[in-house]
Amino acid sequence: MSVFDSKFNGIHVYSEIGELETVLVHEPGREIDYITPARLDELLFSAILESHDARKEHKEFVAELKKNNVNVVELTDLVTETYELASEEAKAKLIEDFLADSDPVLSTEEAEAVRKFLTSRKSTREMVEFMMSGITKYDLNLMSAERELIVDPMPNLYFTRDPFASVGNGVTIHYMKYKVRQRETLFAKFIFSNHPKLVNTPRYYDPSMKLPIEGGDVFIYNNDTLVVGCSERTELETITLLAKNIKANKECEFKRIVAINVPKWTNLMHLDTWLTMLDKDKFLYSPIANDVFKFWDYDLVNGGENPQPVENGLPLEDLLASIINKKPTLIPIAGEGATHIDVERETHFDGTNYLALRPALVIGYSRNEKTNAALEKAGITVLPFHGNQLSLGMGNARCMSMPLSRKDVKW
């Protein structure tokens, strides 16, 4: 039985808020057990997660999605299914690419030991789990090795939003800024090159382009407009290249790209930690970004073969109105009249990072109580779930999800 239900016919995401049909997630596996105090900054975590509670929280998140009739696809299952459907040549290439991209760099002896270890696992799923979680010298019986981890873990994999993004009927496969996350795109490249339901998906960006961009910065506001954050992880130069690629691809119908500058903070690293669309005309934002917000337009209709960014000088409200063609409702983190302390606290725990399941129905952490109350007051229903451990990886529900298909919205 496929990981996809019978309704899934490929990537189809033309909004942030259309009814969510299929979404990609990943429950944090053994990889988070290898986070140590000395490596917190390197691995991009604010603290060590209590693994059992983190997995329990993620299960609660997934259960809520399924309760709302979403087809939830687990990344491990998708990679496993793709591998079992792939040609022998493609299977061998995945292993060799994994070895070549390994961190730390493997010696000839280590590479051979890892290759034999992976290909001798009792199941494809077990092999994939080891690729994601990391491989120790004890796994390989290389007891004389100086380091315990022969292959490092990928502990940020539960943030499935970032390695690639669904854009219309296509995808952008990303070059991620930090080395610890760059290997994650291995799985995106593999599934979009080999899974029968994904292999013909148009690609608008490829990691070989070597300019940083991550999925937390990529938004589809409507059929005409793509919004991309210029953030700590995504550069304006990358967005300019993306605009050129989309303009050149006849299958892509976007008419405009808007780049939004946000604070370059390592703990709030993407646009979706500062501003999120939750309904046709309702947007949640952090007032901390007010002095930093800056907007550029790319005209994909009349901007030539290589559209360039043009700063438009609009305030946030007018910028959003120019996209949705009506006055937006702006909801500040922690609500109107919140203290700066409350704004800082709930911004820190990704208080803008909700996932819309359909217009005005969103899911996010229960810990952001004041923001949840402000959303309810504004007519947005919140499905809260516990995230005290998951949030230590610096992401909320939007970060932990990549929509693969949404129903179209009637504007």
Instruction: Catalogue the active-site residues.
Output: 399
Strand-strand pairing, 135-136 and 149-151: antiparallel
- Alpha carbon distances (Å) from 231 to 90, 159, 251, 272: 35, 17, 28, 10
Task: Note whether 198 and 192 are within 8 A (CB).
Answer: yes
Task: Note whether 6 and 199 are within 8 A (CB).
Answer: no
- Rounded Cα–Cα distance for residues 405 and 219 (Å): 14
Strand-strand pairing, 294-299 and 355-358: unpaired
Q: Residue 404: phi, psi to the nearest 5? A: -105, -25
- Rounded Cα–Cα distance for residues 92 and 67 (Å): 38
Amino acid letter for position 193:
S
Task: Write down the H helix ranges in 249-368.
Answer: 316-324, 340-348
- Rounded Cα–Cα distance for residues 27 and 58 (Å): 6
